[in-house]
Structure 1
Amino acid sequence: MLGNIAYPQIVCLEPFVFREVDFPNILPGVSVYYNGDSGIDDKRVAGLLVGLEYKIDESYQEKYPNLKVVASATTGVDHIVLPNTVKIIKLESHEVKAVSATSEFAFGLLISLVRKIPFSIHNPDNREVLQGIQLQGKTLGIIGFGRLGQNMAQYAKAFLMNVITFDKADNRSKLYQLLNESDIISIHLPLSAETTGLIGLKEFQMMGKKPFVINTSRPPIISKEALLTAVK
């Protein structure tokens, strides 16, 4: 039993995120349904499995009156806004076998942006547009050196790039050095009161090389107003 619910159900709202999870072994005795499946009994739903596609608010508690747990396969859980009566669990990515998906995507964005791949596809005869920037020898600044940041560093070193890093526990001066020296900056921090607005106008002004900036973390880590000012 989950809570006081006999034969509880869990609804997986984003099957793609959890496609490789062996639910029978992980959750014995619990019926796991994918969003839209027949057989879902709203009153027996005790848990939700989510990624980032849905914002989970009180409307889900109204739909599932016995909801006890929401588990999210994300680094941050700011997309889940529920009363304290519902427990929010942050799953580590290795539990859903998505260890490198975000960092691979981020490095794919890096290559696409720096090498001008989208522009090249649409302008195959424009040699000026085709001239992207060679990654070898360039400096990648990684803001947030957890699992995703460490993956990015490995990918960058495979391309013979220089890597400098900043993590939350580091002295702020290290961030300023990174901003000044990086050709490309990639952000991999969870959203918190400490990291909200971390990159503001002052930080953009410190970017000595006018770097490419890639943020696959939450948008509020970069001040929207500062970003708009910086790109003008």
Structure 2
Amino acid sequence: MKKQVVVYKKLSPELMARLQAQAEVTLIEDLSPAGMQRLRQALPRAQGLLGASLRLDAELLDLAPQLEAVASVSVGVDNYDIDYLSQRRILLSNTPDVLTETTADTGFALILATARRVVELATLVRAGQWNSNIGPRHFGSDVHGKTLGIIGMGRIGEALAQRGHFGFGMPLIYHSNSPKPAVEARFNARYCSLEQLLQEADFICLTLPLTAQTHGLIGAREFELMRPESIFINISRGKVVDEGAMIEALQQRKIRAAGLDVFEREPLDHDSPLLQLDNVVATPHIGSATHETREAMARCAVDNLLAALAGQRPANLVNPQLWPQAAG
């Protein structure tokens, strides 16, 4: 008998057909109030869940007493109550590898866009306000040769470092839980404290996950340590940053600019002060948003879910401590 799977994310016809060949699939096409009602109705029968952008807390999980596995179409797992999932012996998997290069591309796009004021000046041209040669008032700053500071040296941090070091000749400093000798050797990088990085880097890039330890990591004190010419880039999670402190730093020109793909609340509020600042480039959480990468992420999630439901270890298991118990 096929197992019951609830999918709350649109999949390509190929991936949907693959799932349907091995499971009974209920598709929730959106997470509107009506979609959430359908999801709640489907959860009591669900043995597998696949999707993204939904906070799966104990309240929702309690509606799914037969649940065996959750496959997230994401690298971040801050939407999941991992302790409760583990307590229930529910396997959680994610898609950590396939989005690395694309997300690093997004990070470097924000570096270039903020440094060269691309969005601001393109808007000026579109508005018909380019009436003379651009002068110092509209000049940007160079990227090549500037110091790139990366906070969080995981897969995405390394991919960003590769672009900066080999593509733009940028001296590299970084801060993470521990030094990474291989990174230092490959990119001629220097490990330093968070305080040192904030004081020295021209570009300060966040590429670390949201955890209890990183929540609010960058606040008013940290922005005070940055230099007026610093440019701040966040492609990690919005809640790693105290958004109010960041807005104040940008308004008072304590830092030059910010390139932001993530925010405390998403979608970003229409009345957010960030939208009124000409030294902010804001994008709608597009880190992995290419056709190729999103399909690869979905394929990885399907692989993870089908493996778990077949009694095999998913390739990207977030709570691996369950595996010996689950296998037994």
Give the Å deviation of 1:211: 1.1
Taking structure 2 as the reference length, the TM-score comes to 0.57
Query: Using the alignment, how far apart are the partners of 1:20 and 1:150 within structure 2?
Result: 32
Q: How does 1:105-184 map to 2 (within 5 A)?
A: 105-124=106-125, 125=130, 127-128=134-135, 130-157=138-165, 158-170=167-179, 174-184=193-203
Query: Using the alignment, how far apart are the partners of 2:106 and 2:15 within structure 1?
Result: 21
Instruction: Compare relative contact order (CA 8 Å, sep 6+) and give the higher one, 1 or 2.
Output: 2
Distance 1:86 1:14, change over 3 A: farther
Secondary structure (helix, strand or coil) at the match of 2:122 reads helix
Deviations 1:104-131 (A, max 9, x none): 2222122212111111211121624652
Residue 219 of structure 1: aligned partner: 238
Residue 205 of structure 2: aligned partner: 186
Is contact 1:191–1:221 with CA below 8 Å preserved after alignment? yes
- What amino acid sits opposite 2:147 in the alignment? T
Deviations 1:188-217 (A, max 9, x none): 111222222222222222213541111121
1:35 aligns with 2:28: yes
The structure with the largest helix share of the pair is: 2
Give the Å deviation of 1:21: 6.4
Distance 1:141 1:47, change over 3 A: same
Give me the identity figure in percent. 30
Secondary structure (helix, strand or coil) at the match of 2:47 reads strand
Give the superposed CA RMSD: 3.4
Unaligned stretches of 5+ in structure 1?
1-5
Residue 3 of structure 1: aligned partner: none
